[in-house]
Structure 1
């Protein structure tokens, strides 16, 4: 590029035009302008949350050519690629780990592009911009989480340290039906899943898929009760506000699949998914009644049903959960990038991540050997 690039930070995504932001993305619902706007307008991020928006844009000749979702963090909650031990070590060495910069989608452990630009040089500029913002703002470092493999490779070239963790994803190998998928499993696992689904579907009610205009305000009232129950048990305090769900109903209901279990027309459990161009992303689950295997049915089996019916290549069912293996979800590597200002700490972190990547590769291979697919 003959003229220089201009880097700007933004205290709200509202300062960047939706068409400019989304025109640089890949259709992933979580990095869409409307999703990030819903987080801000609902108060799920912003003052008092520990997630302070500081989004980046890169302009060239008056045109926005790159953007990245960026936040100043005062804690490490809601990230799902954990650095609590790093923060503890940094503090014990006498440093202030917070604030730090986080290029991520808050509360969303789903892989996708984080450096939204068509030109690799602009992506490098976004990474370099993060380090400059960290240095000038007194942040300990900058972290890019749940990025793509290509971004991880680019980041390593730019001086960031790559990290590999793992999740369980269901991969569509051209299945025409759920039975077609089951045929790829060993006989014992196939029988176990059929038995599990029959038990779950026999809870005494019905299961519905709701998307678009089928979603009504009363469905969000029900799901809010589910979400609060799960959040209070897992996180102590739910990350998202009630207003967030009203916002996404208004702006994203065509990108949402709510799998709802009802008894006598009354919702008792639900799983909230977001629909991407080529993937279904399972995000939240909750219930008011406990029924055997209903969690697995709504979150995993019904998601596979939807993916097959709609020709999606994969289901990402969120963080953790080795129980997903038995349901046909496979271990896959997850990428992130990390940069810290303190050179001594950076050297120690580089050594740690080298060893962790080797061990993670072994773990992924060992878990792959436990998938229910027929061997050979």
Structure 2
């Protein structure tokens, strides 16, 4: 009996598909691709036309079953992406063209590598990608979008898309991640480091305690609405210190607390019995992701404790093998976080801009590769 043909739908909101249908396609180690996370972004208003993120998610159906999906947005700026293309926009606009709006397949405000193309195991992946490619190309044509961008895709996604669409331009970057090397516990991790770095970490953790700060963790249902509200106050401080408003609102985090508590872990620092700093983590089946942080107090090494050492310790206690603490920061390198290649793919409609971007990404990629190799040699392990 022949299979039913594939059909494509473009959803103006993630709520147009049920959580069970969407999540059946999602890797259990990827909490940010879950329906609850994407829905919280939209339902809270953090992601909307008003904020420059217009949902247009691609879904592939076969005989009333969702067999593939890809989060997608029409973007009217480049904020919240962490793959910086402002220079590309400036180049085309100087030449009299227009860069915005553009199409983007990514998790908003979340530079975490992972699969961006969600395909059921029994589906014909090549046929699905061909249909999706037709869809984002048609979106670019119909809405006069300058480009389509697939951000922070994993190796499998990058390889498959490059084979499907050779015109895609690859851009490389570096992030720092911690992996369990069979350390056993935090003391085992310290024992694997050079004497200089082992002493540094012990001193930094001791300094936090010497300032009268006590650090604790809350998980899942133990995270109260009051604890989340305090975390949000701390989170906004981080943004205000940089002179800009936060991307995400309190309603977004409260929705996460209510709809996916099993994925949340909150680190709190207390002084004189009250919380003064917080860091929010997400966990999958094998990985931990550090995402947001803020503090009401200025305290030496508190950021390292709340955002790095608590995460490493938690992974070792919970049997998680990977810890992604977020973007940026060579300061992670000396604390045992290894440089990892991250990649994004870019389709540019304008031939001249596409040629310039390709040349730029090639040259940038050579520098990134050399930097990654040099950083690997600077790891603090014995």
Q: For residues 114 and 127 of structure 1, what CA distance do their matches in structure 2 show? A: 13
Match of 1:368 among 356, 373, 376: 376
Q: Deviation of residue 147 (structure 1)? A: 0.8
Over 3 Å counting, the alpha-carbon distance change for 1:189 and 1:205 in structure 2 is closer
Deviation at 1:202, TM superposition (A): 2.5
Give the TM-score of the pair, scaled to structure 2.
0.95
- 1:106 corresponds to: 108
- Change in Cα spacing, 1:124 to 1:335, as seen in structure 2 (3 Å) is farther
Q: Distance between the aligned counterparts of 1:204 and 1:272, measured in 2?
A: 22
Residue 195 of structure 1 deviates from its aligned partner by 1.0
Q: 2:239 corresponds to which residue?
A: 231
Match of 2:132 in 1: 126
- What is the alpha-carbon distance in structure 2 between the residues aligned to residue 75 and residue 165 of structure 1? 21
Q: How does 1:128-167 map to 2 (within 5 A)?
A: 128-157=134-163, 158-159=165-166, 160-167=168-175
- Give the deviation of 1:128 after TM superposition: 3.7
For 1:199, the equivalent position in structure 2 comes to: 207
Residue pair 2:115, 2:156 contacting (<8 A) in 1 also:
no
Q: Where does structure 1 lack aligned partners over 5 or more consecutive residues?
A: none
Q: Which residue of 2 aligns with 1:15?
A: 16
CA distance in 2 between counterparts of 1:198 and 1:143 reads 44
| Cα distance in 2 between the residues matched to 1:128 and 1:111 | 24
Deviation at 1:327, TM superposition (A): 1.1
| Pairing 1:64-79 to 2, within 5 Å after superposition | 64-79=66-81
Q: Deviations over 1:70-125 (max 9, x none)?
A: 11100000001111111111111221100001101111111111100034322443
Secondary structure at the residue paired with 2:61?
A: strand
Q: Deviations over 1:291-310 (max 9, x none)?
A: 11010000000000001111
Question: Structure 2 unaligned runs (5+)?
Answer: none
SS in 1 for 2:277: strand
The structural deviation recorded for 1:3 is 4.5
Measure the CA separation in 1 of the matches of 2:321 and 2:243: 31
2:5 aligned partner: 4
Counterparts of 1:164 and 1:214, CA distance in 2: 39
Contact 1:271/1:284, CA 8 A, preserved across alignment: yes
Larger mean CA deviation between 127-136 and 171-180 belongs to: 127-136
What secondary structure does 2:341 align onto?
Answer: strand
1:270 maps to which of 278, 294, 318: 278
Instruction: Report the TM-score when normalising by structure 1.
Output: 0.96
Match for residue 63 of structure 1 among 59, 62, 65:
65
Change (3 A) 1:2 1:253: closer
What is the aligned residue count? Answer: 374
Q: Deviations over 1:15-52 (max 9, x none)?
A: 01111110011021100000000011111011310111
What is the CA-CA distance between 1:251 and the residue it aligns to?
A: 0.5
> Is contact 1:79–1:106 with CA below 8 Å preserved after alignment?
yes
- CA distance in structure 2 between the aligned counterparts of 1:43 and 1:131, rounded to whole angstroms: 27
Task: Give the drift of 1:220.
Answer: 1.3
**Which shifted more, 123-132 or 36-45?**
123-132
1:289 matches 2:297: yes
**TM superposition shift of 1:283:** 0.5
Distance 1:47 1:242 in 2: 19
CA distance in 1, matches of 2:5, 2:335: 51
Q: Secondary structure at the match of 1:249?
A: helix
CA distance in 1, matches of 2:283, 2:50: 30
Q: Secondary structure at the match of 2:260?
A: helix
Offset at 1:150? 1.2
> Is the Cα contact below 8 Å between 2:4 and 2:63 reproduced in 1?
yes
Q: CA RMSD in A?
A: 1.4
